[in-house]
Structure 1
Amino acid sequence: MLSVKQRFHEYFVSDSGKDFQDAIKLLFVQSPLDKKVRRRIKVIVSDANLVTIYFSERIEAFLALGRLMVAAKNAPFGLVKSKQALIAAGMEFDINVTVEELGFKLDTSSRGVPAVERLQDLTISLSLYGYRTLFIYMEDTFVVENEPFFGYMQKRFTYEDFVALGKTAKSVGIEIIPSILLIDDIKSLIKWPIYSSILQAPPNNEEKYDLFHRVILAVSEPLESKRIHINVGEKTHEYFVQKVYAKCSKYLGNMQIDRECFNSEIQSYSAHLKRVVDISRSLNIVPAFYTDSIEICPKEQSINRVKFPEDCNVDVDTETFIQLNEALGDSEIEFIHRNYASEESAFDKKIKLLGSLVDDDTFLKQKRKWSICLSLWSWNRFWVALYWSVNMMESGFTAALKNNIKHVYITAWSHDGSEISMASVEAALAFFSELVHTKNEQSSRSDVMQRVDESFKVLFRRPASFSDMLVACALDQPSEFPVGWGITNLAKWLTWEDPLTAHLNPQLAETNLITHYRILTDNLDTKISQFLRQLRMQGSEFDGIEYHPLSFPAALARFLHRKLTFYRIFSIAYSNNDKKQMAKLIGRRVDGTKLSEVSVLEDLLLCLSSLHSLHHKIWMLEFDPLGWAQIESRYGVLKIRLESTRKLIFSYLQDESAAVRELKSYFFQKAKIHTVEVFALPLFTWSQAAFLGPTE
């Protein structure tokens, strides 16, 4: 409780004096856990100054405390408290516990390694939302004894970091579970010659197993972990499965395989997984695997990357699944179904199929625990696709309830620099908790949304409501689609693409995106101004407005408005050979003399500088400084390209042949990259941005 009091000091008073006498007392009563009885948290207002919380498990007490803190923040009573006033404030309630474990998985291996203090704050907020588990995904972002090049030149969690984090987490009822890769799948190791020989050896190399043992020990010992999540990556999968599948199917038609060949060849994969399990069990740690680690699909692509329904849905090689499951032995293992984009019906069908494959073996069935992992859609974005994520959370959790799965997790993946706003991640986490703890036959999305609006400001200490955070999702909203459907990662593409060789911008030239981003900027600025005005009316001030969760999306929308405006004016002026307009873009007259007003390009560069400065401040608050260079290099490239564009336009106005030739090359061919239907996905990738050929 001390950790909560320190983080939320304004909600608590000291244990003596007049403030203590007037304060509401909390009495926690723990009842024995009876698995035969449906678990329920019951909070009763006993009298005007006493609230009694009945709970079974430690994390339930913190969930109830979180609800009480939210009620206290919005309480209608004043100095005079009564039993009726406390009840009216929402301090008497029941919570039906529908899951045994609510967990969150955080990616720390994309340059964004959170500061330990921020992780400690996160665990406290998670506990008040009822999260029982925090998975920390780490490829090489931790120290391994006698391995100085493991995670070299980046932030690494030390033994002491893990001890401090584990202590805080344990105090609020949260278990920290390391999530790691097999040695072959840690891509960064290939940079260091010291690992060249071990990486060239087959996966079942003894030296490699020894390193894996020490890796598990490095993360589990200081955290006192009893479980570990082991990710089977692409390299391991390709070595053991894809080549075997190709070998045993290439002479047969209709995607059939030679079963005798396949059963023989796949045994090496079975032995490898069994060895990994044995290493974990030797340390008294229960391993967890994604189910697609032991699924075989009748396709040659990587089944370990099940992101879309067509990859590996219900078309699973059941015989091989049974074979691999049996080969893992009678050790306790957790299998995690993950679903990032499949429809509820398809996901439900797959869960039932895999569950049925172990039903016949009563002994092994008792040794396997099933769980579900969903995604927040934070990968390769500035802002979580909250609308899409809400849909996936609802369908995924419904599938869990249908199949009586009691362990439910949510993942925030990052990508190449961790540009995702952690405030938007927290908003999604708040929704998922309220969904899980509010879900019943009578509840609706609006009921859940109301609870999130009430709790998000309080438990994550963010000066914005969940509804405000939804508004910022328009960063990625194409104007052709209604808000809430298929929000892409559009803002990231438009931000970093080259100002002259832009390929996405021309596709959207005829849309209303310029107006869209101007309106979004105004809307977000208005919300921030309203917040500041309310504070001033209360006689308070807010230091560090740049840390308001809407400040970054507002700055980004402002920059995109300026950037799209520049490109529109520039492309039209060049096409019409309007040198006067081109000169005005860079603050010049056609004769080269300067204009007095700030030019469009100068304004764009100022916006870029402001965005860069703001992004840097937010990053340093959330993450370790070592990862910032990855993002700053993008700002540097964009700034140089904009400045060189200014010089190019000036040279073009002087009729310099080189400038004429260079500009002509940029506008020589216009190509259609993709159809607008691609925006129906929550993100699009480089492979989808393939040129379909020149347009008329």
Structure 2
Amino acid sequence: MLQLYTEDTYEVEGEPLFGYMRGKYTTRELCRLDDYAYDLGIEIIPCIQTLGHLGQVLQWPNYTHLRDNSEVLLAGSEPTYEFIEKMISAATGPFRSKRIHLGMDEAYGLGEGRYRQLFGYKEPTQIFVYHLQRVMEICSRYGLQPMIWSDMLFCLAAKSNSLQGYYDQGNNPATPELVEIMPSDIDLVFWDYYHTGEEVYEQKLQQHRDLGCSQPWLASASWTWSRFWTALPFTFQTVRASTLAAKNKNTGVKNAFITIWGDEGNECDIFSCLPGLYYYAQLGYCEKDDVDLSILKQSFDAICGANFDDWVYASKIDDSPSGNPITTRTHFNANPSKWLLWEDPMLGFLTPQYTDEDLETHYGQIADHLFTSLKESSHPAKNGNNDPNTNGTIHYPLNARLELPARVALVLSLKCHLRQRCVAAYRARDHEQLYELATGRLTRLIDAVESLWQYHRRLWMDMYKPFGWEVLELRYGGLRTRLATMYHQIMTYLEKRSNTKNNEALASKANKTSSSSSSTLAIDDLDLDLIDDGNEEEDDDDGSLAEFDIDLQCLFYGSKTNMLLDYSRVVTPSRPG
């Protein structure tokens, strides 16, 4: 089974702004996908959204009348259900499957926006169930068997606009009133990508049964979102916990699947999830509680043409030098490679998070290892040169994909601590050192970012339609221009400081030679040394570097680099707009 997740990325007849300029699948493309999967014995199930996660559509004025809020459809409104029927018809038409995933997750603020203005206050869970019943009536007319993500049933009961209510083990929404009005033929999908202990999954699955769903589905994930490379060690831990719960003969499930997501720009090389998918498949079909790691690695090499250990090693770009131990209290995987890359280089306002970490060495070692793996993988295997079966072929052809994390690591080895070093030189008035940082390390960083951008662009264009790349390219463009401005600001400052000192030298020399027979000054008499004596006060006329005059504050105490941050949070301390 493959669930093909779409929000607005498929054609809906008569709705040209649905998926407008988003690279949506054409009906013909979806039919071809279904034919291809059918030949391989794979059922493709359309996975859409029919309540929340529709901000891409609802942003356009044509759909104002369908909004409850900026992300959520207006439940209880007849035009909403006419629109949903068009979506369901378009999404299911190309596929043989009679199953459909209706989404309905993370519909935060349901009933609190235009709904309340139009219909007054109503308990949100009742709104949700009424909406579900109406959408299921549509599915019934089309002969479809629907399923939904189950989180809103838990979050609404907990009165929580976050997932905390979903995973709170003490929060069981299965009241007699709710069980009575819940549709009996809806499949609930429990999704949990965060826990490393199987007991959480088992308890929540039972709570789904308490809601009247005798066979809930279970979804785990390979951690691809909001990062450049899959967080494989954490993926292995969460997948193992959820799969053992699924395989438990007493509390297990019949249907389970693993998800991959592209949230926050889809920067990740999606193929980096392959070790996670392969581990999930092996664990799901073996009788023991874990797989034979040696066989897993050999099989991954044979099936995927990549080195398992190298691909797992690439996940270190989101580790700290001291590592991030995974325990039962670990509920997410940090993404420092992302926020360190996009953090504004001149302001560097997250620097206090890692002042006591040697990230230069950390990322330098990762880059060296991955580039070495790339080089060795692009040549015949050393141990296979005498093997007539190898014919001198490349040993790990898919290891070529390690170039993305390798280039990210190289950039970060140059970027981390750069502002810190520049500020130290600036405040010490060591202008020679500041000049060397600008013309040396900063210049190399600019070149490395240029190469990373160009490689990432090639990778995207080889895999996807061009739509969506503009999101990442704007990030690269912002980083490149900010680095250029950083160089310009430093060099302009140094030029002004040099000119000020030269002017002082000229005036002093002129005074000394005014009574002399010759007033000619040689170029050697000018003070071109960029090192100050350290006793002068900076003058406004000298053009100080205001960005370097600010003392940075620690913003996330106790977190250090163990943070999962979005682009908008790290690009600047100023709020957009």
Under a length normalisation based on structure 1, what TM-score does the superposition of the two structures give? 0.68
Paired with 2:9 and 2:151, the residues of 1 have a C-alpha distance of: 25
Taking only the aligned residue pairs, the percentage that are identical comes to 25
Paired with 1:293 and 1:395, the residues of 2 have a C-alpha distance of: 23
Structure 1 counterpart of 2:14, one-letter code: N
Paired with 2:41 and 2:64, the residues of 1 have a C-alpha distance of: 42
Structure 2 counterpart of 1:669, one-letter code: D
Paired with 2:408 and 2:4, the residues of 1 have a C-alpha distance of: 29
Residue number among 592, 608, 611 corresponding to 2:452 in the alignment:
611
Residue number among 324, 333, 346 corresponding to 2:186 in the alignment:
333
Residue number among 397, 401, 411 corresponding to 2:259 in the alignment:
411
Q: 1:544 to 1:658 in 2, by over 3 A?
A: farther
The answer for the alignment partner of 1:601 in structure 2 is 442
Contact 1:535-1:542 at 8 Å conserved across structures: yes
The answer for the alignment partner of 1:163 in structure 2 is 31
Q: 1:623 to 1:574 in 2, by over 3 A?
A: same
Paired with 2:87 and 2:216, the residues of 1 have a C-alpha distance of: 25
The answer for the alignment partner of 1:558 in structure 2 is 410
Residue number among 463, 466, 481 corresponding to 2:308 in the alignment:
466
Matched, 1:432 2:286: no
Paired with 2:337 and 2:190, the residues of 1 have a C-alpha distance of: 31
Matched, 1:352 2:206: yes
Residues 516-573 of structure 1 show CA distances to partners (whole Å, capped at 9, x for unaligned) of: 1111111112222222233584554669989712111111111111112533431321
Paired with 1:659 and 1:488, the residues of 2 have a C-alpha distance of: 44
Q: 1:309 to 1:188 in 2, by over 3 A?
A: closer
Contact 1:314-1:346 at 8 Å conserved across structures: no
The answer for the alignment partner of 2:46 in structure 1 is 178
Q: More strand by proportion, 1 or 2? A: 1
Residue number among 93, 106, 114 corresponding to 1:221 in the alignment:
93
Under a length normalisation based on structure 2, what TM-score does the superposition of the two structures give? 0.81
Q: Shift in Å at residue 511 of structure 1?
A: 1.1
Contact 1:374-1:393 at 8 Å conserved across structures: yes
Matched, 1:621 2:467: no
- 370-379 or 551-560: bigger deviation: 370-379
Residue number among 443, 453, 477 corresponding to 2:297 in the alignment:
453
Structure 2 counterpart of 1:205, one-letter code: S
Q: 1:325 to 1:294 in 2, by over 3 A?
A: farther
Secondary structure of 1:288's counterpart equals: strand
Secondary structure of 1:373's counterpart equals: strand
Q: 1:388 to 1:544 in 2, by over 3 A?
A: closer
Structure 1 counterpart of 2:215, one-letter code: K
Q: Shift in Å at residue 458 of structure 1?
A: 3.5
Contact 1:378-1:385 at 8 Å conserved across structures: yes
Structure 1 counterpart of 2:279, one-letter code: F
Secondary structure of 1:341's counterpart equals: coil
Structure 2 counterpart of 1:208, one-letter code: T
Matched, 1:671 2:530: no
Paired with 2:100 and 2:541, the residues of 1 have a C-alpha distance of: 59
User: What is the 5 A alignment of 1:220-299?
Assistant: 220-235=92-107, 238-239=110-111, 266-296=125-155, 299=158
Contact 2:106-2:152 at 8 Å conserved across structures: no
Residues 76-99 of structure 1 show CA distances to partners (whole Å, capped at 9, x for unaligned) of: xxxxxxxxxxxxxxxxxxxxxxxx
Paired with 2:98 and 2:114, the residues of 1 have a C-alpha distance of: 32
The answer for the alignment partner of 1:533 in structure 2 is 379
Contact 2:307-2:396 at 8 Å conserved across structures: no
Residues 194-214 of structure 1 show CA distances to partners (whole Å, capped at 9, x for unaligned) of: 212233684221121111111
Q: 1:581 to 1:400 in 2, by over 3 A?
A: same
Paired with 2:8 and 2:569, the residues of 1 have a C-alpha distance of: 30
Q: Shift in Å at residue 310 of structure 1?
A: 7.8
Contact 1:309-1:341 at 8 Å conserved across structures: no
Paired with 2:242 and 2:542, the residues of 1 have a C-alpha distance of: 56
Matched, 1:501 2:352: no
Matched, 1:369 2:215: yes
Q: Shift in Å at residue 190 of structure 1?
A: 2.7
Paired with 1:296 and 1:638, the residues of 2 have a C-alpha distance of: 38
The answer for the alignment partner of 2:419 in structure 1 is 567
Secondary structure of 1:381's counterpart equals: coil
Contact 1:183-1:208 at 8 Å conserved across structures: no
Contact 1:241-1:266 at 8 Å conserved across structures: no
Secondary structure of 1:148's counterpart equals: coil
Q: 1:199 to 1:206 in 2, by over 3 A?
A: same
Residue number among 619, 629, 634 corresponding to 2:475 in the alignment:
634
Task: Kindly report the root-mean-square deviation, in angstroms, between the aligned alpha carbons of the 2 structures.
Answer: 3.2
Q: 1:530 to 1:484 in 2, by over 3 A?
A: farther
Paired with 2:402 and 2:220, the residues of 1 have a C-alpha distance of: 26
Paired with 1:153 and 1:243, the residues of 2 have a C-alpha distance of: 29
Contact 1:474-1:483 at 8 Å conserved across structures: no
Paired with 2:411 and 2:86, the residues of 1 have a C-alpha distance of: 47
Paired with 2:191 and 2:368, the residues of 1 have a C-alpha distance of: 39
Paired with 1:294 and 1:242, the residues of 2 have a C-alpha distance of: 21
Q: Shift in Å at residue 289 of structure 1?
A: 1.3
Structure 2 counterpart of 1:465, one-letter code: N
Q: Shift in Å at residue 506 of structure 1?
A: 3.4
Matched, 1:655 2:484: no
Structure 2 counterpart of 1:433, one-letter code: A
The answer for the alignment partner of 1:316 in structure 2 is 172
The answer for the alignment partner of 2:508 in structure 1 is none
Secondary structure of 2:93's counterpart equals: helix
The answer for the alignment partner of 1:479 in structure 2 is 321
Paired with 2:431 and 2:44, the residues of 1 have a C-alpha distance of: 62
Q: 1:164 to 1:222 in 2, by over 3 A?
A: same
Paired with 1:476 and 1:242, the residues of 2 have a C-alpha distance of: 41
Q: Shift in Å at residue 284 of structure 1?
A: 0.8
Contact 2:53-2:107 at 8 Å conserved across structures: yes
Q: 1:416 to 1:658 in 2, by over 3 A?
A: farther
Residues 29-55 of structure 1 show CA distances to partners (whole Å, capped at 9, x for unaligned) of: xxxxxxxxxxxxxxxxxxxxxxxxxxx
Secondary structure of 1:142's counterpart equals: coil
Q: Count how many residue pairs are aligned between Structure 1 and Structure 2.
A: 512
Paired with 1:547 and 1:617, the residues of 2 have a C-alpha distance of: 16
The answer for the alignment partner of 1:102 in structure 2 is none
Paired with 2:281 and 2:178, the residues of 1 have a C-alpha distance of: 34
Paired with 2:174 and 2:115, the residues of 1 have a C-alpha distance of: 19
Residues 443-487 of structure 1 show CA distances to partners (whole Å, capped at 9, x for unaligned) of: 545x1x33331232343x4x4222211100110101233566764
Q: Shift in Å at residue 232 of structure 1?
A: 1.4
Contact 1:552-1:614 at 8 Å conserved across structures: yes
Contact 2:2-2:44 at 8 Å conserved across structures: yes
The answer for the alignment partner of 2:503 in structure 1 is none
User: What is the 5 A alignment of 1:573-588?
Assistant: 573-587=425-439
Paired with 1:458 and 1:206, the residues of 2 have a C-alpha distance of: 54
Paired with 1:161 and 1:387, the residues of 2 have a C-alpha distance of: 35
Uncovered stretches (5+) of structure 2, i.e. residues with no partner: 498-538
Contact 1:546-1:614 at 8 Å conserved across structures: no
Structure 1 counterpart of 2:79, one-letter code: E
Residue number among 198, 201, 206 corresponding to 2:78 in the alignment:
206
The answer for the alignment partner of 1:137 in structure 2 is 5
Contact 1:649-1:659 at 8 Å conserved across structures: no
Structure 2 counterpart of 1:223, one-letter code: F
Residues 113-134 of structure 1 show CA distances to partners (whole Å, capped at 9, x for unaligned) of: xxxxxxxxxxxxxxxxxxxx11
Structure 2 counterpart of 1:401, one-letter code: K
Contact 1:313-1:350 at 8 Å conserved across structures: yes
Residues 259-293 of structure 1 show CA distances to partners (whole Å, capped at 9, x for unaligned) of: xx987x75443322111111112111111012223
Paired with 2:113 and 2:154, the residues of 1 have a C-alpha distance of: 10
Q: Shift in Å at residue 184 of structure 1?
A: 5.6
- 183-192 or 631-640: bigger deviation: 183-192
